[in-house]
Amino acid sequence: MHKNDTRRSFNVTELTRVEGEGALDVIVEGDEIIELKFRIFESPRFFEALLRGRRFDEVTDITARICGICPVAYQTSSANAIEDALGIQVGEPIRDLRRMLYFGEWIESHGLHVYLLHAPDFLGYHGGVELAQDSPDLVKRGLRLKRVGNRLMEVIGGREIHPINPRVGGFWKAIAKRDLDEMVPDLEWALEAALATVDWVSGFSYPDLEPDYEFVALHDPDEYAIIGGRIRSNRGIDIPVHEWGDVFEEDHIEWSNALVARIKGRGSYHVGPLARFNLNFEQLHPLARASAERHGLTPPVLNPFKTIMVRSVEMVHAAATCLDLIGRYESLGAPYAEAPLRESVGYGASEAPRGLLYHRYALDEEGLVTDAQIVPPTSQNQLQIEADLRQLLSGILDLDDDTIQHQLEQSIRNYDPCISCATHFLTLNLERR
Amino acid sequence: MRDDRPLIVGIGNPDRGDDAIGLAVAERLVDDGTVLLSSGDPTNLIAAWEHRNWVIIIDAVRTHQLPGTVTILELLDEPILGGVAHSSHSLGPLEAVQIGAALGTLPERVTLVGIEASSFVVAGDMSEPVRASIDPAIRAVRSLIGQASASSPPAH
């Protein structure tokens, strides 16, 4: 960090507690932000290229390896797209299992982020280690929540990292009701722990920031959308998934080798827990909705720092809904559905822990992938993250450099950006002139 | 009750060049202890080692040595600072060790077998110097286990 009369420079070589690698470069001259670039390193489109020429039924296994934190998201969006291409319809029991598997991933991912990555920001700690030293019982609760999520993924998915049971059309192996019933005590504990988490984080002090967001998320009138739905926004977008390319576009920006997505003619938008909460509040499980309302958390929630509250509410929703789904679950008949191969294009989306995840695949008549498009949430949030940083920075330029740097990092962590999904260490360089 | 056999943890991403080295070494040690392969979040390790006396962590590291160099650190004897070893994970194994220490769940001995990496390119193969370090790293782990067995009091 450097400072003289007119120019201040910040150089943070590792932005921690962010999954992946990237950098933020900021140049400030006096009271003016000269440059702000959120950069993502690496080759974002490798997996799209890798998929070309592979069989349709390999896609879910290959895309699961894009991310160690959210493999179910990639499996679900890709399965949705392939099923759309082949005209495969799946029944309610398979949908229920998919939702439970996905909720396991939400609990695992949100539990990690809330307790070990994000909460330390609000409590004045450098990271989860200090929180564990001062409040070991809190961290134990967070880790146990995470383990419940992992266990659910293992029971349904076959293993907790890169599940092997999901496939196009459903699952390779049917899950017995007794296996799910064994999860009930853990999920009942997780529900109580998630409710306690909402109470805990609601006591945090939140910086003032309320950007004018366009929120985009999947919407399903009958459930808090996670494995499918229509794409909606708070400014009029209401389209089936296959029209994604009519409304959104991806392009390169010179400072990032990830593609960034924008709404055609409008620009940045916001995907993730805040978007889901604001667009789908009525579809939350009643226990989750009540936990939010108890702390005055009702739509519209515009403060991005409050995503930690929303993630906690979503853990309540996930645990409560899983308990309901297990209660009504009856063993699958056929564990998966099939359809004849055909030359076709299919579109699929789901709500990854970090937001909307869109996939498109073109197949030839032998079921080989001829083209693939994968648009992860972090690519969609990249422009919005930059916009948030500009707005935040313009209001805190009178603060000392260390405080500014910390708040910028915290603002990026609001999005829990999974940069390894978009393309993997974040470097922050802030320079004042 | 703690388990006396070492828990051997291989950490890495099989699709990220030299980051795969921890997995590649651990996979060949299944007859030497309980092997756990970790490709995702290292906080999963905190539960895995809770009832163990000794965990051996095998991972790619960046310590400004020649690629393939095998470094052995007894982490509880060292000042455990972020930056001693970097890997491509959201929370590194060292943070997992630190959290385990704070929670009082850490084994009595935590050994890091680090292999100096040079490339983490997506879908890249391991570099030749790192691939050539697999056998030396395996020998290093077996030597550690052999020394521990030799120094243990005989069973009655």
CATH number 3.40.50.300 is the correct assignment for the domain at A46-380: no
Low-confidence residues in chain A, pLDDT < 70: 1-22, 40-45, 160, 255-257, 418-433
> How far does the CA of residue B134 sit from the closest CA of chain A (Å)?
23
Dihedral pair phi/psi, residue B81, rounded to 5°? -120, 140
Q: Of A357, A349, A351, A348, whose CA–CA distance to A314 is shortest? A: A351
A26 strand-pairing partners: A430
Are A242 and A253 in contact by the 8 Å Cβ rule? The answer is: no
Q: What is the CA radius of gyration of chain A?
A: 21
Report the alpha-carbon distance of residue A182 to residue A39 in Å, rounded. 45
A192 DSSP assignment: H
Q: Is there a cis peptide before residue A163, judged by omega within 30 degrees of 0? A: no
Task: Give the neighbor-by-neighbor strand order of the sheet with A344-352.
Answer: A344-352, A355-363, A369-375
Dihedral pair phi/psi, residue A10, rounded to 5°? -120, 135
Per-domain boundaries in chain B: 7-151
Dihedral pair phi/psi, residue B108, rounded to 5°? -70, -25
Residue B37 has pLDDT above 80, yes or no: yes
- Contact of B143 with chain A, judged by CB distance below 8 Å, is answered with no
Give the nearest partner residue to A68 out of B39, B102, B103, using CB atoms: B39
- Contact of A13 with chain B, judged by CB distance below 8 Å, is answered with no
Which chain B residues contact residue A20 at CB under 8 A?
90
What is the predicted pLDDT for the residue at A16?
41
- Contact of B104 with chain A, judged by CB distance below 8 Å, is answered with yes
Are A307 and A313 in contact by the 8 Å Cβ rule? The answer is: no
Burial of B3 (0-12, 13-18, 19+ CB in 10 A): middle
Give the nearest partner residue to B103 out of A50, A140, A150, using CB atoms: A140
The label of the residue with tokens 């970097």 reads B86
- Contact of B119 with chain A, judged by CB distance below 8 Å, is answered with no
| A106 Cβ neighbours under 8 A, 6+ residues apart | A149, A226, A314, A315, A318, A353
The kind and range of the H/E element at B61 are strand B54-61
Per-residue pLDDT band for B90 (boundaries 50, 70, 90) equals low
SS3 state at A234? coil
Q: Cβ of B91 and A42 within 8 Å?
A: no
Q: Of A46, A49, A71, whose CA–CA distance to A61 is shortest? A: A71
Give the mean pLDDT of chain B: 83
Residue of A nearest to B87 (CA): A425
- Could you give the count of Cα atoms lying within 13 Å of A317 in the half-sphere of its Cβ? 30
B70 strand-pairing partners: B115
Per-residue pLDDT band for B9 (boundaries 50, 70, 90) equals very high
Residue of B nearest to A143 (CA): B43
What is the predicted pLDDT for the residue at A413?
86
More confident residue, B64 or B99: B99
> ipTM for the complex?
0.80
Are A22 and A40 in contact by the 8 Å Cβ rule? The answer is: yes
Q: What angle do CA A28, A34, A39 make, to 5 degrees?
A: 95
What is the predicted pLDDT for the residue at B153?
62
A303-356 confidence digits (pLDDT tens): 999 999 999 999 999 999 999 999 999 877 889 999 999 999 999 999 999 999
Report the alpha-carbon distance of residue A68 to residue A48 in Å, rounded. 18
Give the nearest partner residue to B44 out of A65, A139, A150, using CB atoms: A150
Residue type, A155: V
Other Cβ atoms less than 10 A from the Cβ of A205: the count is 7
| A345 Cβ neighbours under 8 A, 6+ residues apart | A85, A360, A361, A362, A363
What is the predicted pLDDT for the residue at B144?
95
SS3 state at B87? coil
A215 strand-pairing partners: A270
A25 strand-pairing partners: A429
- Contact of B125 with chain A, judged by CB distance below 8 Å, is answered with no
| pTM score of the predicted model | 0.89
**Is the dihedral angle over the CA atoms A75, A80, A84, A88 positive or is it negative?**
positive
Residue of A nearest to B90 (CA): A19
**Is the dihedral angle over the CA atoms A277, A281, A284, A289 positive or is it negative?**
positive
Q: Write out the E strands in A282-424.
A: 344-352, 355-363, 369-375
Q: How big, in percent rounded to 5, are the helix, strand and coil portions of chain A?
A: 45, 25, 30
What is the predicted pLDDT for the residue at B87?
36
H helices of A329-400, where?
A: 377-396
A399-427 confidence digits (pLDDT tens): 888 888 888 888 888 888 765 544 322 34
- Classify B64 in phi/psi space as left (phi over 0), alpha (psi -120 to 50) or beta: left
Instruction: Write the DSSP string, A12-79.
Output: EEEE-SSBS-EEEEEEEETTEEEEEEEEE-S-TTHHHHHHTTSBGGGHHHHHHTT-SS-HHHHHHHHH
- Contact of A424 with chain B, judged by CB distance below 8 Å, is answered with yes
- CATH architecture of the domain with range B7-151: 3-Layer(aba) Sandwich (3.40)
- Contact of A50 with chain B, judged by CB distance below 8 Å, is answered with yes
